[in-house]
Amino acid sequence: MTMSANIIPKPKHDYDQNLGLKMLLLCLEEEEEIANHVITRCQILIPMFLRLEMGTEVEQLTEQETAIYDRQIRVWGVDAQRRLSKSHVFVSGLNGTAVEFCKNIVLAGVGSLTLNDDRLVTEDLLYANFLIPPDENDFRGKSVAELCCDSLKDFNPMVSVSVEKGALSIFDADFFQKFDVVVVSCCSLLTKKSVNSICHKLPKRVAFYSVECRDSCGEIFVDLKNYSYCKKKNDETIECELRYPSFEEAIAVPWKSLPKRLSKLYYAMRVIERFEALERRNPGETSVDDLPNVLNLRKEICEAHCLNESQIPDSLLRRLIASRTEFPPVCAIVGGILGQEVIKAISGKGDPLKNFFFFDAMDGKGIIEDISNVSS
């Protein structure tokens, strides 16, 4: 067969050189279509899975709450934020540490905050309470609670902040029953025992906290009654339960039965509380002139408890009674710890503190002490 010179048949293995590129582009287009489909399905399914896992809890947070608290929801979850938004907190005694705490929980998004402090503004209160406006014309005639209430409303308008007038000692069980958390500060030893006793005996669990800052030292006491929570250990969820004593039960524990390396602040605070109670003084109404009487009382108490007086140094007692003002950096630290613990108690997330916390700026250490005869 004769073939024309101009016609050269292509070999069977010849192919279009652009075919590979075309196939690659086609695959990429298909992958993009598949990816878009998967993303669309995830956008539909993920909220469905969340609702299945959390029940109706997602629906109980409004769109505004979800938008405002988005970052902290990522930290402790929707359920914890829902519990916070339904909680009611009462705070009495608005010193520097207490207002730091109030600021923290208002920003965290509790449901309501009730303030109690009928005192008028003094120079000492201005030193550590940043919620009080510095201009005398702004605070003349108003109580500390009223001034703090006005300022806290600006921090988070979604939180209901109100004032309850009256002495802390006049409130009864029906009043405290309305709250989930009660925090007291700068009150007498007798009042602290009384309020804690009321909260401890209520049928519902009302978390009780007391907080004090003197000079550069701070103390927190916690009473959560019978508290159950879950924590993870080695990829397993463990149910834990802690039993808390009341404040009166805790401080009644004999000193000779306490650990030898117990924080010296615990002993010092008990001596000063006893001194103020015997002298019928309000917390902080002491001066360096009271040191001789305080040292005599320390001797009596140490002898009764078979404790060496060196466990309560003169220098520490002097610091605690000499200063009538709080140290703002210590207020920030102790108030921050208190806010963290209250959020734990409300949300059920994390190991709670049991049952005393001490901080001393002189060594920069925060110490947790479990002081009770109640088994955990």
136 domain-assigned: yes
107 domain-assigned: yes
| Run of H or E residues at 254 | none
The two structure tokens encoding residue 238: 């463990």
The two structure tokens encoding residue 214: 């003197």
47 domain-assigned: no
How far is Cα 136 from Cα 118, in angstroms, rounded to an integer? 17
Regarding whether 349 and 307 lie in a shared domain, the answer is no
- Can you list the alpha helix ranges (DSSP code H) found in the chain? 19-54, 63-68, 70-85, 96-108, 123-128, 136-139, 144-155, 173-176, 189-201, 247-251, 264-279, 291-305, 314-322, 328-347
- Residue pair 112/148 in contact (Cβ under 8 Å)? The answer is no
- List per-residue pLDDT tens for the chain, 376 residues long: 444 444 444 444 444 444 444 544 455 455 555 445 444 444 443 343 334 344 444 446 788 888 888 888 888 888 889 999 999 999 999 999 999 999 999 999 999 999 999 999 887 788 889 998 887 777 778 899 999 999 999 999 999 999 999 999 999 999 999 999 999 999 999 999 999 999 999 999 999 999 999 989 999 999 999 998 888 778 888 888 999 999 999 999 999 999 989 999 999 999 999 999 999 998 889 999 999 999 999 999 999 999 999 999 999 999 999 987 889 999 999 999 999 999 999 988 889 999 999 999 999 999 999 998 744 4
Regarding whether 203 and 112 lie in a shared domain, the answer is yes
258 domain-assigned: yes
Regarding whether 164 and 258 lie in a shared domain, the answer is no
Regarding whether 276 and 156 lie in a shared domain, the answer is no
For 225, half-sphere exposure in the C-beta direction (CA atoms, 13 angstrom radius) is 16
pLDDT of res. 30: 54
Identify the domain boundary among 284, 302, 321.
321
Regarding whether 304 and 231 lie in a shared domain, the answer is no
Regarding whether 348 and 242 lie in a shared domain, the answer is yes
Regarding whether 147 and 68 lie in a shared domain, the answer is yes
Regarding whether 198 and 108 lie in a shared domain, the answer is yes
CA dihedral 112, 101, 163, 284 (to 10 degrees): 160
307 domain-assigned: yes
How far is Cα 358 from Cα 264, in angstroms, rounded to an integer? 9
23 domain-assigned: no
Regarding whether 291 and 176 lie in a shared domain, the answer is no
How far is Cα 341 from Cα 347, in angstroms, rounded to an integer? 10
19 domain-assigned: no
Regarding whether 152 and 101 lie in a shared domain, the answer is yes
Regarding whether 95 and 208 lie in a shared domain, the answer is yes
3 domain-assigned: no
For every residue of 166-206, DSSP letters joined together read S-GGG--HHHHTT-SEEEEES--HHHHHHHHHHHHHSSS--
Domain ranges, residue 217: 63-249+325-369
Identify the domain boundary among 321, 341, 356.
321
Regarding whether 184 and 330 lie in a shared domain, the answer is yes
Domains in the chain, number: 2
Domain CATH for 218? 3.40.50.720
Q: Is the previous residue joined to 355 through a cis bond, with omega within 30 degrees of 0?
A: yes
